[in-house]
Amino acid sequence: MPNYKLTYFDFDGGRAEAIRIAFHSQNIKFEDHRISFAQFAQFRKTTPFNSIPVLNIDSILVTQTNPILSYVGKMTKLYPTDDLQILYCEEVMSAIEDISHQLVKTFGLKDDVLKQARKKFVEGWLSTILKGLESLIIRSKGDYFCENQLTVADLKCFVQVNGLSKGFLDHVPTDIVETVAPQLFAHFNRMKKEPIIQEYYKMRENSK
């Protein structure tokens, strides 16, 4: 089996978290390389797009969050096999990436400028995407986004909603998902009970 090294920031959450959970779900060995924000300024120069996460597969460096997550999902049987279900899975993951793309525009802002930018983000893009994701879980007519089973789409959505609910972002209400998209919040609560998610965070707690 190849040697895997996943590089991302040193916190639980963000774009790499679903990849970490997927790796852990089948006990696939990988180096969970975590760097500080200060280290990122230098590290980013070694990546093709000045961004992380990145995955080293032996001597090959691979970039972009969703393709990496899809790749690991296929290895861990957390990725659909039917073409239509693959489309559904990728649709969810792309929508969640859109949240990150819009949110990053507010980084570096301060005080009232930040407050106003986050207010606009919450009332605009964030609410729109959360409602859209809720419509996708309703469309599935089940507990999961696709194939009526746990996939990387569910993991990625769980991580995003978990982050929003933790209050890590100033001026973003912690009840935003529950308020705007209650059925999406219900999906989040179901995901919290999934064994592979519980086992991953138990491992993380024990390692601290």
Q: Would you state the pLDDT for residue 207?
A: 87
Q: How confident is the model at residue 105, as a pLDDT? A: 95
Q: What is the mean pLDDT of residues 156-166?
A: 97
> What pLDDT is stored for residue 1 in this prediction?
86
What is the model's pTM? 0.97
With contact defined as beta carbons under 8 Å apart, do 200 and 24 qualify? yes
| Average pLDDT score over the chain | 97
Is residue 72 scored above 80 in pLDDT? yes
**What is the set of domains in the chain, with CATH numbers?**
4-77+197-206 (3.40.30.10), 83-193 (1.20.1050.10)
Q: What count of other Cβ atoms lies within 10 Å of the Cβ of residue 74?
A: 14
Per-residue pLDDT band for 23 (boundaries 50, 70, 90) equals very high
- Taken in order 48, 49, 50, 55, the sign of the CA dihedral is negative
pLDDT tens digit sequence for 81-129:
999 999 999 999 999 999 999 999 999 999 999 999 999 999 999 999 9
Measured distance CA(67)–CA(54) in Å, rounded:
10
The residue-averaged pLDDT of 72-77 equals 98
User: pLDDT tens, 4-18?
Assistant: 999 999 999 999 999
Q: How many helices (H) and strands (E) does the chain have?
A: 10, 4
pLDDT at 64: 98
**pLDDT at residue number 158:** 98
